[in-house]
Structure 1
Amino acid sequence: MTRTALTFAGAIATTAALAAPAHAGVLTKSATGCDDPVLSQPFKAWLDNSSYKPVQNGNFEAGDAGWTLTGGAKVVDGNASQHVGGAADSRSLLLPAGSSATSAPVCVGLNEPTLRYFARKNSGLLSTLLVQVQVQLELGVWVTLPVGVDLGGAWHPSLPSLVVANLLPLLPPDMTAVRFKFSPLLGGAWQIDDVYVDPRVSH
């Protein structure tokens, strides 16, 4: 990833942090049904030895189950070339211009602030992929903030996208329900696959 990409991604994360209410963590809704996750190291080949848990159906092998798709987004044949989820995996999610994909809610806390995934830009010279987090507040309202941006290329692991820390529970082991939203900007078509969250408590 280029220095420009790193700077752009950092700017997005900083903007999200500044946009968040200073004490929003107090108002986040505690998540329930947060089972112990199955952990793996899908990004170890890229010098990231962190252990990650998969977002529900983040490999899209179960079709679009658990995801909310708009604008023509759909599961298609063709896996990310890295096959970190398994050699037999054969699907990914296509995001045409004007579309979006939102994951099922996932339990996160202060120990789990990082999202990573695999992406490919299929078309659109200037197109970027916007990544947002939706945090559920105590009254049930979902607040959406940007956490990252991808500038494209062939199948590649994303940079870590940091979930805004002051939107998360103040004290472990409290958990917050969050969703992740992916959408192309400035036209173009993208594919994503193998979406993971990093539980830093496992380091």
Structure 2
Amino acid sequence: LSNHDVVRHASRLMLPPGTDTDAWLLSGGHAPAVDQDAGLRRARAATLLMLALPGSSYLYQGEELGLPEVADLPTAVLQDPIWEQTGHVRKGRDGCRVPLPWTTTGPSYGFGAGGAWLPQPDSFAHYAVQAQDGVEGSTLELYRSALKLRRKLLDGEELTWLEDTPPGVLAFARTDGWRCVANLSDAPMPLPAGEPLLASTPLPERGVLPPDTTVWLG
């Protein structure tokens, strides 16, 4: 979903289809503006959907903290050669490479004794490992729960796409006995029968699957 060459998916998934990400980065992330809370919900839902698929999964550093793209890096601090090679037309990939926050304070939020080689925004304190470790519902704990549960659940490489779903709902059944249901619409949907094993956002009431939410059902 993310890597060191693309806009982090916690921000990218909120951009309108067809958005020129180079132009968006040049605007400092203001045109269009991104709702980071909504972007994090979509990112968490996308993660549970991806981790339910067969095969190997790859996680990019920082996504387990829910880090968004740092789109407003000043041009004076850019280090990606793309910035110079394109004649300052593309800011490059530095926005997804800003060092991770480990602690909620410090010159580099715990990344090292000195300042980070790319400036970390003040908001990184909220995403820091220290702020999320052991906190129920945090993105870090969601990733930990998902990876632990995935090891127990995955016992085969086959799945069946479920066709009898409402518009905007993507679902498949695993041959190892569980299902993944993702509500990609902007409205609540009925939750299929089954025991919820893990959800990307809290389920507000029994039988309802909120928008931008993925659930694993046993």
Answer whether TM exceeds 0.5 for this pair.
no
Task: Specify the TM-score bucket, using the shorter chain as the normaliser.
Answer: under 0.3
Larger radius of gyration: 2
Q: TM-score, normalised by structure 1?
A: 0.23
Structure with the higher fraction of residues in strand conformation = 1
Superposition TM-score, scaled by structure 2 size: 0.22
Whose helix proportion is higher, 1 or 2? 2
